[in-house]
Amino acid sequence: MTKSTKTILWVFFLIVALVQLFPLIWLIDFSFLSSNEFYSSSVLKWPSDPQWQNYINAWVDGKFLRYFINSAFVTSVTILLTVILSLTLGYAFTRMQWKLRPIFFTIILLGIMIPIHATLLPNFAIFKALGLTNSYLGLILPYTAVSVPLGTFILTGFMRSIPKAMEESAVVDGANIYRIVFQIIAPLTAPALVTVIVTTFLNCWNEFIMASTFLSKDALKTLPFSVMNFAGQYSSDYGSQFAVMVLTSIPAIVIYAIFNEQITKGVTAGAVKG
């Protein structure tokens, strides 16, 4: 490609990126405005008097920290469980020899196709009867159950490409099956595991509908509720609403910025081998 085509392409991408990010830029911009400035005719507006108060409202009345900690806890436990269960299931489905294997594999794969929304109503009844509504477990269990099928699918695809010679030499060295799975297979599947971790993170961190159905206790609510909190009391205070949306988006964007390379590598590896 010539240098000038490259420049044209570069400029084109820059414009598209700006257009694509415009909603977020607008969100950040207006989060510094007072609500009466919202109605001016300009599309973007330099804040003459930045309303930091909006962010204080967002932090305090959005109960940001409380919800953030809940989200972090629920998401970490879900990821941990998902990784362990998908790894062991994936191994049992690709390497182990047992009769019911095809049936169980099909059952697990059904989980990818069946919408979680279809399990929402009965789970609500079950959790209510078991006292699981308004508990961390009431979110962790369904989040894990939803994440395991995709995780297993990604990992089985990846494990099939690992040569059996690795395990054979480990067996010769006297390793048992558990050492093989957790000390040899787990590190070898690292790129696929990253994909599993990332998709699980994104799904759980931002999940709203199950959380809003199963939780009513304020102390347990997750981050998306920060935004929902502003529906009543602050419904006309757009500045504070926008500030809480900006705040809520920051953690996921930071995590994405840190793991960006692994995400792409993981998805690439998963998509090509899976």
145 in contact with another protein (CB under 8 A): yes
CB of 190 to another protein, least distance (A): 17
CB of 148 to another protein, least distance (A): 6
6-45 residues near another protein, rule: CB under 8 A:
6, 9-10, 12-13, 16-17, 20-24, 26-27, 30, 38-39, 41-44
Site string for another protein, 199-238 (x = CB under 8 A): ---x--xx-xx---x---------xx--xx---------x
152 in contact with another protein (CB under 8 A): yes
CB of 63 to another protein, least distance (A): 14
Q: Which is nearer to another protein, 57 or 152 (CB)?
A: 152
241 in contact with another protein (CB under 8 A): yes
60 in contact with another protein (CB under 8 A): no
CB of 171 to another protein, least distance (A): 6
Query: In three state form, how does the secondary structure of the chain look?
Result: CCHHHHHHHHHHHHHHHHHHHHHHHHHHHHCCCCHHHHHCCCCCCCCCCCCHHHHHHHHHHCCHHHHHHHHHHHHHHHHHHHHHHHHHHHHHHHCCCCCCHHHHHHHHHHHHHCCCHHHHHHHHHHHHHHCCCCCCHHHHHHHHHHHHHHHHHHHHHHHCCCCCHHHHHHHHCCCCHHHHHHHHHHHHCHHHHHHHHHHHHHHHHCCCHHHHHHCCCHHHCCCHHHHHHHHCCCCCCHHHHHHHHHHHHHHHHHHHHHHHHHHHHHHHHHHHHC
The binder of another protein chosen from 15, 96, 166, 219 (CB under 8 A):
96
52 in contact with another protein (CB under 8 A): no
